[in-house]
């Protein structure tokens, strides 16, 4: 892979935010001992400097087609960047603590372009599932709303039909004297029901016509009038009446 050193140096010194930065121990290619370097990770490019505020990096590691692994048979918090292809260099590094080593290994494992493609594919799949679920939910909501509207409309039709039937019943003319309930109420409130006399008898039977009721009630009124007038002729005279008659 050809690398434009000027472009890399410009990108390293640009104001682009770093994914992670800090000191690590790095084993040199010629010098087999560990040397302290300041590392800055931007995307899939891992720059390292001799000192933190140096303008140009000492080198860069392109984190593509590699794996981040723990170093075996080495004391301390060491790990390595391994390129499977033959002839490629393996970079050995070490951190000051377990937490720092795990943080660097994690962020470096997620820096490659291949990993980003996998993440994009997974996110796209999740988005498609969300769209499908959203459409299914919208369909279910629409069906539920349609059922609610239909049930409400049916209830309104039933209510209107019952109201119309009641209205038609109110406009039908009928003879109140032929209504058994009306007759019972009228009889319970009538004076003749309160009188206990052998000459008065209210017939209880099937419904009667207005003409029959009129004749019966007229006869009862006539009988009461005769009884009332007869009470004066049969009543004995009082002392006041006798004194005036003697005069």
For the stretch 206-226, pLDDT in tens is: 666 666 776 777 777 777 777
User: Domain 5-111 falls in which CATH fold?
Assistant: PH-domain like (2.30.29)
- Residue 236 has a pLDDT of 53
Domain ranges of the chain: 5-111, 113-172, 176-220
CA 186 – CA 180 distance, rounded (Å): 10
Confidence of residue 202 (pLDDT cuts 50, 70, 90): very low
- The predicted model scores a pTM of 0.52
**Best mean pLDDT range from 15-19, 67-71, 138-142, 167-171:** 67-71
**Percent of the chain scored above 70 by pLDDT?**
66
Of the listed ranges 119-123, 134-138, 190-194, 233-237, the least confidently predicted one is 190-194
Give the pair of three-digit tokens for residue 239. 């002392």
- Residue 242 has a pLDDT of 46
Q: What distances in angstroms separate CA 183 from CA 193, 198, 209, one per listed residue? A: 13, 22, 11
Q: What is the dihedral of CA 23, 24, 27, 28, to 10 degrees?
A: -20
96 pLDDT higher than 50: yes
**Best mean pLDDT range from 31-45, 139-153, 165-179, 201-215:** 31-45
CA 231 – CA 122 distance, rounded (Å): 115
Instruction: Decide if 9 contacts 57 (C-beta within 8 A).
Output: yes
Of the listed ranges 83-92, 111-120, 136-145, the least confidently predicted one is 136-145
| Over residues 166-170, mean pLDDT | 57
- Residue 179 has a pLDDT of 55
- Residue 247 has a pLDDT of 46
């Amino acid at each position: 892979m050809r690398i434009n050193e000027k472009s890399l140096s410009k990108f390293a010194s640009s104001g682009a935010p770093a994914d992670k930065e800090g000191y690590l121990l790095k084993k040199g290619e010629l010098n087999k001992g560990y040397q302290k370097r300041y590392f800055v990770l931007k995307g899939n490019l891992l720059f390292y400097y001799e000192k933190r505020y140096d303008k140009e990096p000492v080198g860069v590691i392109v984190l593509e087609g590699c794996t981040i692994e723990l170093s075996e048979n080495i004391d301390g918090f060491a790990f390595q960047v391994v390129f499977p292809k033959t002839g490629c260099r393996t970079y050995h590094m070490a951190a000051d603590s377990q937490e720092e080593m795990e943080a660097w290994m994690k962020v470096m494992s997620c820096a490659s372009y291949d990993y980003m493609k996998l993440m994009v594919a997974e996110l796209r799949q999740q988005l498609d599932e969300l769209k499908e679920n959203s459409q299914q939910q919208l369909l279910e909501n629409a069906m539920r709303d349609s059922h609610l509207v239909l049930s409400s409309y049916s209830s309104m039709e039933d209510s209107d039909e019952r109201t119309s039937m009641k209205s038609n019943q109110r406009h039908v003319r009928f003879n109140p004297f032929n209504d058994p309930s009306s007759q019972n109420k009228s009889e319970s409130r009538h004076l003749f029901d309160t009188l206990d006399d052998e000459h008065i008898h209210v017939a209880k039977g099937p419904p009667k016509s207005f003409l029959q009721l009129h004749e019966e009630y007229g006869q009862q009124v006539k009988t009461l009038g005769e009884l009332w007038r007869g009470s004066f002729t049969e009543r004995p005279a009082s002392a006041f009446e006798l004194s005036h008659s003697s005069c």
